[in-house]
Amino acid sequence: MSPGQEVNLIVDNISSKLDNVVNSLAIKLGVAADTLLPILLKQARIDGVMALLWSLTGLLIFLFGFYICYKFYVEKIEVIGNYSGNMRTTTRATEWEEVIFILWLAPAFCFVAGGLLFINYFSVAMNALLNPQFYILKQILSTLK
């Protein structure tokens, strides 16, 4: 069996399971399955677009956090020494007092949180937009549990 045939077999299996679940759900709701499936497909596209927007928001937060971390922790700046008056090279992070330590963590938090937000919502968006039948089946089965 070729890989293409295996993929077609898997897609047919998912489609038949989706049809069974949608038919049983339609019977419970008292509507025709033909009217329920287009509604679920439309909702999958809406969920996919919303997840894509959230993933782009996460990507922007990630890039902002990366930029701030670079400026704060890596980029070298010239400062005048406290006692000698000579110029020296350092980073912005070494010039801050320990009292405002929480501000040191804010760029790193943006970096990590934005990355996690992007990864989580991007996978949901790709699932809902590229394979809406599987997304619908997964949503229905998670709701029924």
Per residue in 47-100, pLDDT (tens digit) is: 999 999 999 999 999 888 888 877 777 776 666 566 666 666 766 666 665 546
- 49: its two tokens: 């677009």
- The confidence score (pLDDT) of residue 56 equals 93
pLDDT in tens, 24-39: 777 877 777 777 778 8
Residue 82's alpha-carbon distances to 87, 95, 111, in angstroms, are 10, 11, 32
Residue 27's alpha-carbon distances to 24, 36, 43, 81, 137, in angstroms, are 5, 10, 20, 78, 16
Question: Is 118 or 80 the better-scoring residue by pLDDT?
Answer: 118
**SS3 state of residue 145:** coil
CA of residue 11 relative to chain centroid, distance: 25
Per-domain residue ranges for the chain? 3-144
